[in-house]
Chains A and B, each alone.
Chain A
Amino acid sequence: MASRWVAHKWEGSTMKNARRIASRLLGVFVIGLLFGPTAYAVGTGAGIDISNSATATFTVGGTPFTEDSPTEVIRVAEVLDVEVTLLTVTSNTNNQVTVGPGDHNQVLTFSVTNTGNGSDEYALSALSGPGFNGSGSDTFDPTIVDIYFDDGTTPGVFDVDDTRYDPGTDDPTIPADGFITIHLLNDVDLTVVDGELGDSQLTATSNDLALFPGGAVAGDSVVGAGDNTGDLVLGSTGAMADEYGTYLVSTLQFDFDKTSTVLNGFGNAEPIPGSTVTYTLTTEVTGSGTATGVLITDDVPANTTYVAESMTLNGVGQTDTLDPATIDDSNFDPVGGPLNNGSVTLDLGDLTPADSVQTITFQVTID
């Protein structure tokens, strides 16, 4: 064959490219005019007819006339395309879902988006286990449990009301430019160790792909099989898309320690009324992963009185009032704790093993 056709990737077709191609076609110099970025969120719907008719007005011997051209109609073909995206895992900067050995029903959440221009039905499938290593760093094989639709009470979060997907029976229909959220659940083997990674993949395939012969590539078409009896065209994704998520085994350890030192007016450590007691609380995270939203609360003991503004974090003085604007927020609640003798609270935020030991101190006087 002397030449081959190039299928236009419509979602990537920019006006700049269009101008380049069109200018070559027409042999004209195209001036760089003001032109806003053109986004084809969905594109013209499948099966829509684009009509065009020109009109000429003219005069013959001073008499005006009007003439219309016949109407040209172009029917927009149906493009089959789909995208699968792993939704951001906010608790992990590498977008990994933290799991422990023997954990059940661990959730990877994906969105499946119909990037074609017609409504389509998709089959979903999951892949895990030996032979699948999406990230290239996969060292253990999660065990696929099920695929669930995110149709429960908490959008974006797997909950008991979400519906289990039954392949072939309730393949979802997604409108053009629409998306659905899918949860992929896996179990984690008991034998995994800290730091291991396991990948699991979700695949969405347009059921209309079956209308194409095997080996069909982007740009191939089936006449009359699209919406409104237009043609059906295989889009740039080949009407099939997949994405994997990764589980990170974390045996996160949280070590907490508390010590006290007493100083009385005589310069020794005898705890007598009026003595100052300094409490030191240390917090350390070991293993791997992230301890999110670490909140340290300690009660002021009975028969003591909290020394105002005595809290420190890593040697830096802290206020007694809540100030959500600061990262390490501290608070003294005068009636907190079981004895209503007050309590101190420090918000340490997220801690990882890379963080140094966090040291909190506060003081009380013995009544």
Chain B
Amino acid sequence: MIDFKNVLKSWMLVSACVLAAGVAIAEGEGSIELKATAQKVVVVIEEDGTERTELVAPEIVVPGDMIAYTIDAKNVGAKDVERVVITDPIPEQMLLVPGTESSEGATVLYSVDGGENFGREGELTVLGANGVPRPAISTDFTHIRWVFETPLAPTAERSVRFVALVE
């Protein structure tokens, strides 16, 4: 049974946090501005036959297309921002293209249970078709998380990125 009273309580707690964040921005103490950009990965063939990959606006997206998600985190406050953790769900209609997630200056973690629990690649398991746990692979990932190794100084900006395939 779900304990609705507790759920409500925790929801109120979350609301309080959000409010607090709003206050923080207003006071200019230190805050992060988060921007997410979706771009389509396209291959351009030059006249000499060489291939080049480009990112373009995702105007027309069809199954099989690859979308690069870039998340820019900028410290718009006056103080250092510490313990920055960026979490992005991999849309349910998409699959993470393995090896495309950026990892510079961050520890990359994954979730296979809708963002409940996170672990490093290789640590996670899912139930296989036969009911026996097997190592999780990139198609099992529901969320990706970057834990920044260093604080973000005022005006500093850092980006993370992953590419996903539209199923």
Contacts and interface: CB of A to CB of B under 8 A. Distances in A.
B108 interface: no
Given A10-B63, A55-B87, A56-B86, A35 B81 contact: no
A2 B45 CA distance: 9
Contacts of B32: 56, 58, 65, 67
Interface string A26-68: 1011110111101010111000101111111111110111111
Contacts of A233: 60, 62
Interface of A: 2-6, 8-13, 15, 18-19, 21-26, 28-31, 33-36, 38, 40, 42-44, 48, 50-61, 63-72, 74-77, 79, 117, 221, 231, 233, 235
B20 A65 contact: yes
A6 B54 CA distance: 11
Contact of B63 (A19, A33, A43, A53): A43
B47 A59 contact: no
Contacts of B44: 3-6
Interface string B83-120: 11111110101110111101000000000000000000
Contact of A9 (B37, B64, B79, B139): B64
Nearest to A79: B62
Interface string B12-32: 001001101100100001111
- Among the interface residues B30, B41, B167, which one has the most CB atoms of the partner chain A within 10 A? B167
Contact of B138 (A35, A60, A77): A35
Interface residues of B, number: 73
Contact of B62 (A5, A15, A23, A77): A77
A22 B20 contact: no
- Among the interface residues A33, A44, A63, A71, which one has the most CB atoms of the partner chain B within 10 A? A44
A75 B65 CA distance: 12
Contacts of B47: 2-3
B66 A21 contact: yes
- Among the interface residues B24, B52, B55, B166, which one has the most CB atoms of the partner chain A within 10 A? B166
A69 B36 contact: yes
B53 interface: yes
Contacts of A57: 83-85, 87
